[in-house]
């Protein structure tokens, strides 16, 4: 058991070192990262209007720290997943190992897809709607760098997280905790849960952001049912083939 603890400690240290190095790099490039992240906001503000403000002497520094950490965490995620995989690998059977790489690739791809959808489509729509509400009332938007970063980071992380739905459901199915039939029978309950989660994870009260998260999540849920049903059929065929050989 001490060998496992030492190995776990070693892999945690490696992952932490990678995170620290990536944080230093991302902190250095924080102004460029901020310029990129501001684009959804710049696109909906009047031409030439200042996009972001800061109200305290520490605001910009803390924004750079937040940007550096958030970006470093996302970039170093594959390293973390790899370290987790190498730690668990000796304890897995060969038939279980064949699922690891698809799960890792699927997790990363889905998370990036959720973040990209949020950045390129949802944020511009949500910001246009919310800022439009204020300008219609004759008010001028004064958006601080702290508020803006908190908003987009929460939304991007939320979209990335809900896009992991197929990975979680397929994993539960492989562990025989759920079946495609179970998901079909509880579809209405799941839809309600999706709507609640979308309302919680989208910090903006507008229906556009909430529906934009809920609809893709529901589609991913339906896709998960199809994938789980296919995996169950393949598993049943393997079991039947093994049983026939045993006879």
pLDDT score recorded for residue 30: 94
% of the chain with per-residue pLDDT over 90: 28
- pLDDT over 60 at 247, yes or no: no
For residue 55, is it within any domain? yes
**Quick one: 137 and 158 in the same domain?**
yes
For residue 5, is it within any domain? yes
pLDDT score recorded for residue 35: 92
pLDDT in tens, 88-137: 777 767 776 777 788 888 888 999 999 999 899 888 888 888 888 888 88
Report yes or no: 30 and 67 within 8 Å, Cβ to Cβ.
Answer: yes
Q: Which of 38-52, 54-68, 154-168, 185-199 is the least confident region?
A: 38-52
Q: Cα–chain-centroid distance for residue 83? A: 19
Mean pLDDT, rounded, for 171-184? 87
> What is the token pair recorded at 68?
């550096």
Mean pLDDT, rounded, for 41-67? 86
Alpha carbon distance 91, 196 (integer Å) = 37
**Quick one: 72 and 156 in the same domain?**
yes
What is the sign of the dihedral through the CA atoms of 102, 202, 32 and 47?
Answer: positive
Alpha carbon distance 147, 151 (integer Å) = 6
For residue 243, is it within any domain? no
Report yes or no: 164 and 197 within 8 Å, Cβ to Cβ.
Answer: no
Mean pLDDT, rounded, for 197-212? 76
* Residue where a domain stops, chosen among 115, 137, 163: 163
Q: For residue 219, what are the domain limits?
A: 164-236
Tally Cβ neighbours within 10 Å of residue 84: 15
Half-sphere exposure for 43 (CA within 13 Å, toward CB): 17
* Residue where a domain stops, chosen among 118, 145, 163: 163
Alpha carbon distance 44, 128 (integer Å) = 6
Alpha carbon distance 200, 168 (integer Å) = 19
Tally Cβ neighbours within 10 Å of residue 144: 15
pLDDT classification of 27: cutoffs 50, 70, 90: very high
- pLDDT over 60 at 198, yes or no: yes
- pLDDT over 70 at 246, yes or no: no
Alpha carbon distance 75, 54 (integer Å) = 27
% of the chain with per-residue pLDDT over 70: 95
Comparing 208 with 137, which gets the higher pLDDT? 137
Q: For the chain, how many structural domains are there in total?
A: 2
* Residue where a domain stops, chosen among 135, 163, 191: 163
pTM: 0.82
146 vs 14, 69, 223, CA distance in Å? 31, 14, 37
Comparing 202 with 16, which gets the higher pLDDT? 16
Report yes or no: 55 and 144 within 8 Å, Cβ to Cβ.
Answer: yes
pLDDT score recorded for residue 17: 93
**Quick one: 157 and 168 in the same domain?**
no
For residue 241, is it within any domain? no
DSSP type of residue 118: I
**Quick one: 12 and 23 in the same domain?**
yes
| Strands in 50-187 per DSSP E | none
DSSP type of residue 53: B
């Amino acid at each position: 058991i001490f060998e496992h603890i030492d190995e776990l400690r070693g892999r945690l240290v490696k992952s932490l070192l990678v995170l620290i190095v990536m944080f230093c790099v991302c902190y250095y490039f924080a102004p460029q990262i901020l310029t990129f992240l501001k684009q959804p906001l710049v696109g909906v503000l009047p031409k030439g209007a200042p996009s972001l403000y800061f109200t305290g002497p520490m605001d910009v520094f803390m924004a750079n720290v937040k940007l550096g950490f958030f970006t470093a965490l996302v970039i170093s995620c594959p390293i973390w997943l790899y370290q987790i995989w190498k730690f668990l690998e000796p304890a897995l059977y060969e038939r279980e190992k064949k699922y690891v790489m698809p799960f890792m690739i699927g997790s990363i791809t889905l998370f990036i897809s959720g973040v990209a959808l949020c950045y390129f489509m949802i944020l511009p729509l949500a910001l246009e709607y919310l800022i439009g509400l204020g300008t219609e009332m004759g008010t001028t938007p004064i958006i601080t760098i702290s508020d803006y970063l908190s908003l987009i980071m929460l939304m991007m992380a939320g979209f990335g997280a809900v896009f992991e739905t197929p990975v979680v459901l397929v994993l539960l199915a492989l562990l025989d905790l759920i079946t495609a039939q179970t998901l079909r029978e509880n579809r209405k309950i799941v839809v309600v849960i999706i709507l609640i989660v979308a309302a919680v994870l989208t910090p903006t009260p507008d229906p556009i952001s909430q529906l934009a998260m809920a609809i893709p999540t529901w589609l991913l849920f339906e896709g998960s049912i199809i994938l789980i049903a296919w995996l169950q059929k393949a598993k049943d065929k393997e079991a039947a083939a093994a049983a026939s050989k045993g006879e």
